[in-house]
Chains A and B, each alone.
Chain A
């Protein structure tokens, strides 16, 4: 029954560009991109309890690395471009994660918030590479002789990469590394007493989280086709946090659902730009009050009761 449902879902996802208008294909691509970020952020915040309000910064690093690589080295296959975007962002994550080892809670949130601003400033100042405020038009991703220019082609790229990233995250969460991260969240002293190297795993969480966000940033650059610094402001970081709170901290399915909910809300509320922060704020407060475990734990309860 579960496998049948998953199979049917997979078929729908594969046929999606044939079923819906191009705009919805684009929107679905954005959902998958955001889901990859949400999973990365959740590994850091939900699993390891290190709060980040700077993931728009990682997202921007990934987007710009992918865009600049595509412009400067057009022959590079898109898979390599995305891997390099992820690795470069992971290095930035390491560089941020190591000094942040001494920080907790609000102080860590402040440091990551500042990191987000630093990235935007850096993009503005490196204008010989990034063209500053003018932004970069991103050419179509290339896969051998194929140019992935249409919304459908981009969608399949995003879906393929997204599926790999989700599978990897599920595997990490279910094995030794994921348990070590959760142990740190639950009790640092008991984790240490069990042989978990706190500093190493906290830093690893930063690097993996940044890798996910960097790959997603690269995909975002291809999906949207144009990037500029103002797309990566602090409100984007808050949106990412909203995704994992609404979806469920410490849950990978929750990350995906949360990303879908926030991305769709964003789209529906496009006409009410000015009220967006107000509505998002209300949704977050409502979530924390009435659904502290997010949609994921609510769904777990329902399926539990149904049995």
Chain B
């Protein structure tokens, strides 16, 4: 479904990714892990069109993503969350989710300005759907609350609801468990599994929380200094000496 081929990118002489290739299959939960600065979020930024790589190819369902603007990539069915959360801080949680639905709605400037019945019907349906999504991430009570005043864990969940509002095929989650307590992480894991099992979503997750990674991933790819050092099932990579060395440092060091 998502194919990354020989991807390289550097920022001002600093190599963020070099020669990275991987393939994510439909309905797979795929985890990208690695120490800080390994280039995990950069992968998301390239896939969503925010960063342009110096070499390599990214394909989504056979289509080249690198020629598309970010909003077009979003409309192809790729939604994401952000590592340091990018909620619309001064807007309510409900409005945040409604903006996620932007590409699904048809009411434009003129029809909106005239307040045609079509627009109000569409708005009412969108609000109901947005509330259902807030409910799903456990935030329905916060629908009218300014997003910026929510605790970090709630903002993370709000971003998931906003991403889901776009009815994506591929969901990119950037450290979704950051700032969540163990109970919340369990709920999150169930949510992600449910999205795949019930709705057939494909999920790529960047995460430090090993419990989550080991608990839900079908396959894991380990990055260090922008290169793949290991990939395979959670069990395989947990036993890989190269991975252990990257995380804990070699014995000589």
A186 touches B89 (CB 8 A): yes
B102 touches A176 (CB 8 A): yes
Q: Which residue of B lies closest to A186 (CB)?
A: B88
Q: What is the CA–CA distance of A174 and B105 in the complex, to the nearest angstrom? A: 13
The stretch that binds A, out of B113-121, B135-143, B179-187, is B113-121
Q: Tell me whether A196 and B108 are in contact in the complex, defined as CB-CB below 8 angstroms, given that A186-B89, A186-B91 are known contacts.
A: no
Q: Looking at chain A's contact residues, is the secondary structure mostly helix, strand, loop, or mixed?
A: helix
- The distance from the CB of A196 to the nearest CB of chain B, in whole angstroms, is 5
Q: What is the CA–CA distance of A189 and B45 in the complex, to the nearest angstrom? A: 10
Inter-chain contacts of B100 with A (CB < 8 A): 194
The reply on B157 being an interface residue by CB < 8 A is: no
B80 touches A193 (CB 8 A): yes
Kindly state the interface size class of chain B when it binds its partner. Answer: 35 or more
Q: Which residue of A lies closest to B49 (CB)?
A: A192
Inter-chain contacts of A196 with B (CB < 8 A): 71, 99, 102
The reply on B223 being an interface residue by CB < 8 A is: no
Inter-chain contacts of B69 with A (CB < 8 A): 192, 197
Inter-chain contacts of B87 with A (CB < 8 A): 186-187, 190
A187 touches B108 (CB 8 A): no
B88 touches A177 (CB 8 A): no
Inter-chain contacts of B105 with A (CB < 8 A): 176
Question: Footprint of A on B, CB under 8 Å?
Answer: 48-50, 69-71, 74-75, 79-80, 82, 86-91, 95, 98-100, 102-103, 105, 107-109, 112-115, 119, 123, 162-163, 165-166
Question: Footprint of B on A, CB under 8 Å?
Answer: 167-169, 171-172, 174-180, 182-183, 186-187, 189-198, 204, 208, 250
25 contacts between A and B (CB under 8 A): A171-B114, A171-B115, A172-B109, A174-B123, A175-B123, A176-B102, A176-B107, A177-B107, A182-B90, A189-B50, A190-B86, A190-B87, A190-B162, A193-B82, A193-B163, A194-B79, A194-B102, A194-B162, A194-B165, A194-B166, A195-B71, A195-B74, A195-B166, A197-B69, A198-B71
